[in-house]
A and B are shown apart, each in its own frame.
Chain A
Amino acid sequence: MRVIVDLEKCCGAGQCVLLAPKVFDQRDDGIVILLDEHPPEALHKAVREAACVCPGAAIKLEDPA
Chain B
Amino acid sequence: MSTESSEQVLDYPLRAPAPLEPPEEWARLRQGCPVAHVRLPSGDQAVLLTRYADVRQVLADPRFTRQLGQEGAAKLSEDGGSVFETEDAASLTEGHERWRRLLHKSFTAKRVSAMQPRIEAMADALIDDMVRQGAPADLVSSLAFPLPVWVICELLGIPDIDRDKLAFWSNAMLNMTQFTREQMQQAQMEFAEYMTAHIAAKRAAPGEDLLSELVAAVDDGHPLTERELMMIGQGILVAGHETTSNTIAKMMAMLLSERSRWEQLVADPSLVRTAVEEALRFDANAGFGLPRFITEEIEVSGQKLPGGTTVVCNMAAANRDEQAYERADTMDLTRSPNPHLTFGVGPHSCVGQALARTELQTTLNVLLRRLPTLALAVPTEELARREGLLIGGLERVPVRW
Residues of A within 8 A of B (CB): 11-15, 17-18, 21, 25-26, 28-31, 48-49, 52-53, 55-57
With A12-B351, A49-B337, A53-B338 known to touch, is A17 a contact of B105 (CB < 8 Å)? no
- Nearest chain B CB to A20's CB is how many angstroms away? 11
Residue contacts A-B, CB under 8 angstroms, 23 given: A11-B346, A11-B347, A13-B349, A13-B350, A13-B353, A14-B107, A14-B353, A15-B109, A18-B357, A28-B104, A28-B108, A29-B101, A30-B104, A52-B337, A52-B339, A53-B339, A55-B343, A55-B344, A55-B349, A55-B353, A56-B345, A56-B346, A56-B347
Contacts of B110 in A (CB 8 A): 17, 25-26
Does B347 lie within 8 Å of A30, measured CB to CB? no
| A interface, over-half SS | loop
With A18-B357, A29-B105, A30-B108 known to touch, is A13 a contact of B337 (CB < 8 Å)? no
Name the contact of A14 in the complex, choosing from B101, B108, B346 (C-beta under 8 A): B108
Chain B residue nearest to A12 (CB atoms) is B104
Residues of B within 8 A of A (CB): 60, 101, 104-105, 107-110, 112-113, 336-339, 343-351, 353-354, 357
Does B337 lie within 8 Å of A48, measured CB to CB? yes
Most buried by A among B107, B108, B347, B357: B108
* Assembly CA distance A52 to B345 (angstroms): 12
Pick the 3 closest A-B CB pairs, nearest first.
Answer: A30-B104, A14-B109, A17-B109
* Assembly CA distance A13 to B112 (angstroms): 11
With A18-B357, A49-B336 known to touch, is A30 a contact of B346 (CB < 8 Å)? no
- Nearest chain B CB to A13's CB is how many angstroms away? 5
With A12-B104, A29-B104, A48-B337 known to touch, is A18 a contact of B109 (CB < 8 Å)? yes
Contacts of B108 in A (CB 8 A): 12, 14, 17, 26, 28, 30
Does A26 lie within 8 Å of B109, measured CB to CB? yes
- Nearest chain A CB to B211's CB is how many angstroms away? 17
- Nearest chain A CB to B116's CB is how many angstroms away? 11
Chain A residue nearest to B357 (CB atoms) is A18
- Nearest chain B CB to A60's CB is how many angstroms away? 15
* Assembly CA distance A27 to B110 (angstroms): 10
Contacts of B351 in A (CB 8 A): 12, 30
